Amino acid sequence: MRLKKINITTEEKIKEAAKKIFVRKGYAGARMQDIANEAKINKALLHYYFRSKDQLFELIFMENIQKMMPKVNSIIESDDKLFDKIEKFVAEYLAMLSENPFLPLFVVNELSSHPERFFEKLAPLAQAGLKANKLIQQMQDEVAKGKIIPISPVNLLINIISLCVFPYLGKPMIQFVFGIDELQYRMILEQRKNEVAAFIINSIKK
């Protein structure tokens, strides 16, 4: 029993170290030796737990998706008003990206290079699906009352996700074009936590 506890602790330490390295160097720039150094273990022990950087990264990715999906469904299926749901959804999504800024680029790279493998890994989560029935009905009711413009729930979610994700995908280009350093960029991302939700709400409000 004691040995099992040590194993779990070591694995968690490795995952936390990997997140820090992925944030600092990006997925492509991260090396297993960097992760081992951050976790304060030797590389042989790291390989005992995880055969490759890909395996470690995919585990972190899947754990984040598994944590995110129930939270999203809880927000969407709640009795909150529509605009409150949008604000909470944006806050939850941006919080996840803030903790794991390397995830959007990983998803884009996987979709470009290994789409079949990527969707195969997501299949178990996709079966659970996004529970949007209540959101759909709520949006239809708001349209009927004349409170929002007609818009499909799919387009609404696409708009929200696009506005949340792009600053992480386009970070190098945005920093270059506007001459923004790392501290300034973090401040901009912090401001967007309120601005994205306000922008989406104003875009559909009548």
| DSSP 8-state code for residue 40 | T
Tokens of 92: 């939850």
Q: Give the tokens for residue 38.
A: 């951050």
Q: Residue 129 gets which letter from DSSP? A: -
Give the pLDDT confidence of 92-123 residue by residue, as tens digits.
Answer: 999 988 888 888 887 887 778 778 877 777 77
**Which structural domains are found in the chain, ordered by start?**
1-51 (1.10.10.60), 53-204 (1.10.357.10)
Q: Is the pLDDT of residue 81 over 80?
A: yes
DSSP structural state of residue 162: H
Check if the beta carbon of residue 51 is closer than 8 Å to that of residue 37.
no
- Rounded mean pLDDT of the chain? 86
Q: Per-residue confidence at 5, pLDDT binned at 50, 70, 90?
A: very low
CA 110 to chain centre: 15
139: its two tokens: 């949006």
What phi and psi values does residue 45 have, to the nearest 5 degrees?
-65, -40
Instruction: Name the amino acid, one letter, at 174.
Output: I
